[in-house]
Amino acid sequence: MDSRFTPQGAQSTGITVERALELPGLRNGLPEVLAGADRLHRTVRWVHAGEVPNIASLLKGGELLLTTGYGLGTRPADQRAFVRTLAERGIAALVVELGPRFSRLPAALVETARTAGLPLVQLHREVPFVAVTEEIHTEIVNGHYALLQRAEEVHRRCTEALLGGGGVPQVLGILSDFSDNPVFLETADGQLLYAAGTGPADTDPLQVWEGLRGQHKDEPPAGTTLVDVPGGGAGTGSVRARLVLLPVSAPLAPVHRIAAERAAGILAVVLMQARQEEELAARGRGDFLTDLAEGRIAAEDAPAQARVLGFKPGGSPLLPVVMRLADGPSPGGGGWAVLARAVAEELASVGVPALLGVRPVEGRVPLLLGLRSESERPAVADRVAAALRAGVERAGMQRPGARPPVVVVGAGGGWAAASAGLRHAAETATAAQGLPERPWYDARRLDIDLLLWRLREHPDLAAFVDRAIGPLRDHDRRSKPPLLPTLETYLAHAGRKAETARELHLNRQTLYNRLARIGELLGTDLDDPQTVLALSLALRARRHVP
């Protein structure tokens, strides 16, 4: 550990009662400790002089009280009450000057101080209280200044570390050395990001965090120092991360909080810069994949550019995948960088080469995967879709009540096929919004939905939907039970009435009655193949028209 950051020096947070008695002002009064000799290490926050019986009500705690004893009272009961109220208030010590009021302190006063654990000191010689006050206050102010200097030294060293090319681990290491305790950086919701330092006997910091912090999120261990790292996001007071100092090897003092607050300001800049760089990199990969999809990069040039981006699938088939967030682009504040990192970490468990990018404007995440063979496409698609959705949840980009993101998987092939596959999957991911929820969609099975989506602004599409199922929509707006769900389920099961009845939880006669009513309203025969085709297209197209 750096010798400039000794724990003993770092914990010297101010003047103690013992130190105050050693200063010339009180030392000249020949002080004698009558009670609380084992508590002279208490910190003196301030000095107060007074002679009134209710002086405890004027104090806040931590004061060294100077008095000649006129406010103590003459009866033992009053003297006991005086000492008890001071002890309850939490003053650092009571100093009584002997003289006209007392030649020696009453036994009731001394006994109560001992029982209450309050340091009690008598001065055998008169001293000027104003000089004592000035002397101790100067010492306190100097102590606070020294604390600030030590905290500023931490700030300076952290800044130098960053200018020298260091990052979050170096900042946490400096803070850990200073506090002689492990230091952790966790997300605002309590997930561990970084750790530095060790516990007793060189304990792994991860074990310390899991044992002391990981299981006590709501009520951290006593003496823990928590400092928010500001987020700099859209809302004021937003928190990007949290510094956690655990008192494992030594107690934490106020100076450690001051140093942690200085370090938190630096970490906010580091994390913001890291997210900006991370998001720029993710956007760069997204631009490459989009340019490939739009034909701006030739298939023969793509492998070399992909290698520069770290994607080396070899000669294996390429699988294009596109995820689209249901609500479109998410707010800023580094969210896309967090999403890219979270998804990349989830994809690491899939075990195949992956090139991941983001397209915030379109609210899309395109990626290419390297397959060992075309036969593993379904299994890889399952795992990739799960990884993508898990990444969205980890990044906090899944709004409560919102539809989950749509994941579309294209066909595998070489670089030329990947270009067309990415474009097809991107368009299909948009067209698939509003379809029944599935882990992922095969782009090849959504061509009809894509065609209808491309016709969404053409007036003939709305007219077609109105002609085909308009009477049913009018019925469902006025009457119950609605009939459109029955027709959808019936067509989805290719006209198999038994399966339709089971899914709708209807008896067969009720289903027959509803189908008859549908045929009557539409003026058509539900057994006619052309009618079934037209109704199926109309039901699919209604998502895209008002």
Tens of pLDDT, residue by residue over 342-373, are 888 888 888 889 999 888 888 889 999 999 88
What is the model's pLDDT at position 9? 37
Give 172's Cβ-side CA count (13 Å radius): 24
**Residue 434 shares a structural domain with residue 487:** no
Provide Rg for the chain, Cα atoms. Answer: 37
**Residue 397 shares a structural domain with residue 306:** yes
Q: Does residue 515 sit in helix, strand or coil? A: helix
- Establish if 141 belongs to a structural domain: no
Nearest alpha-carbon partner for 334 in 257, 285, 272: 272
Q: Does residue 230 sit in helix, strand or coil? A: strand
pLDDT digits (tens, 9 = 90+) for 167-194: 788 888 898 888 888 888 887 777 777 7
Q: How far, rounded to the nearest angstrom, does the alpha carbon of residue 103 sit from its chain's CA centroid?
A: 64
Cα angle 124, 130, 131 (rounded to 5 degrees) comes to: 75
194 Cβ neighbours under 8 A, 6+ residues apart: 168, 169, 172, 184, 185
Structure tokens at 378: 């379904």
Backbone φ and ψ for 329, nearest 5 degrees, come out as: -60, 145
Backbone φ and ψ for 277, nearest 5 degrees, come out as: -65, -40
**Domain CATH code at residue 370:** 3.30.70
- Establish if 131 belongs to a structural domain: no
The secondary structure of 162-214 as a DSSP string is HHTT--HHHHHHHHHHHHTS-EEEEETTS-EEEEES--GGG--HHHHIIIIIT
- Establish if 487 belongs to a structural domain: yes
What is the model's pLDDT at position 4? 39
- Establish if 368 belongs to a structural domain: yes
**Residue 179 shares a structural domain with residue 56:** no
pLDDT of residue 12 exceeding 50, the answer is no
Of 425, 454, 483, the last residue of a domain is: 454
What is the model's pLDDT at position 199? 61
Q: What is the mean pLDDT of the chain?
A: 84
Nearest alpha-carbon partner for 330 in 355, 356, 359, 368: 359
pLDDT of residue 327 exceeding 90, the answer is no
pLDDT of residue 217 exceeding 90, the answer is no
402 Cβ neighbours under 8 A, 6+ residues apart: 326, 327
Distance separating alpha carbons of residues 383 and 349, to the nearest angstrom: 9
Specify the number of domains making up the chain.
4
pLDDT of residue 332 exceeding 60, the answer is no
Q: What percent of the chain has pLDDT over 70?
A: 88
Structure pTM? 0.51
- Of the listed ranges 101-105, 324-328, 389-393, 531-535, the one predicted with least confidence: 324-328
pLDDT digits (tens, 9 = 90+) for 267-310: 888 777 766 667 777 888 888 999 999 998 899 989 988 887 88
**Residue 325 shares a structural domain with residue 436:** yes
- Average pLDDT value for residue range 232-239: 51
Q: Are strands 46-49 and 441-442 parallel, antiparallel or unpaired?
A: unpaired
Residue 481 structural domain: 459-544
**Domain CATH code at residue 522:** 1.10.10.2840
**Residue 392 shares a structural domain with residue 303:** yes
**Residue 40 shares a structural domain with residue 89:** yes
pLDDT digits (tens, 9 = 90+) for 482-518: 999 999 899 988 889 999 999 999 998 999 999 999 9
Look-up: residue for tokens 């682009």?
Answer: 329
pLDDT digits (tens, 9 = 90+) for 436-486: 888 999 998 988 888 888 888 888 998 999 999 999 999 989 988 999 999
Asked if 167 and 18 count as a contact pair (C-beta separation under 8 A), the reply is no
Cα–Cα distances in angstroms (integers) from residue 518 to residues 138, 349, 471, 507, in the given order: 92, 50, 9, 17
pLDDT of residue 149 exceeding 60, the answer is yes
Distance separating alpha carbons of residues 485 and 505, to the nearest angstrom: 12
Of 204, 239, 272, the last residue of a domain is: 272
Structure tokens at 31: 């002080």
- Establish if 351 belongs to a structural domain: yes
Q: Does residue 438 sit in helix, strand or coil? A: coil
**Residue 308 shares a structural domain with residue 431:** yes
**Residue 302 shares a structural domain with residue 445:** yes
Asked if 63 and 35 count as a contact pair (C-beta separation under 8 A), the reply is no
Give 448's Cβ-side CA count (13 Å radius): 12
Of 454, 477, 509, the last residue of a domain is: 454
pLDDT class of 161 with cuts at 50, 70, 90: confident
**Residue 65 shares a structural domain with residue 81:** yes
- Establish if 392 belongs to a structural domain: yes
pLDDT of residue 2 exceeding 60, the answer is no
- Establish if 238 belongs to a structural domain: yes
**Residue 50 shares a structural domain with residue 79:** yes
**Residue 368 shares a structural domain with residue 409:** yes
Cα–Cα distances in angstroms (integers) from residue 76 to residues 83, 93, 100, 101, 106, in the given order: 11, 20, 18, 15, 8
- Establish if 159 belongs to a structural domain: no
What is the model's pLDDT at position 7? 38
- The 3-class SS string of 470-514 reads HHHHHHHHHCCCCCHHHHHHHHHCCCCHHHHHHHHCCCHHHHHHH
**Residue 219 shares a structural domain with residue 337:** no
**Domain CATH code at residue 205:** 3.30.450.40
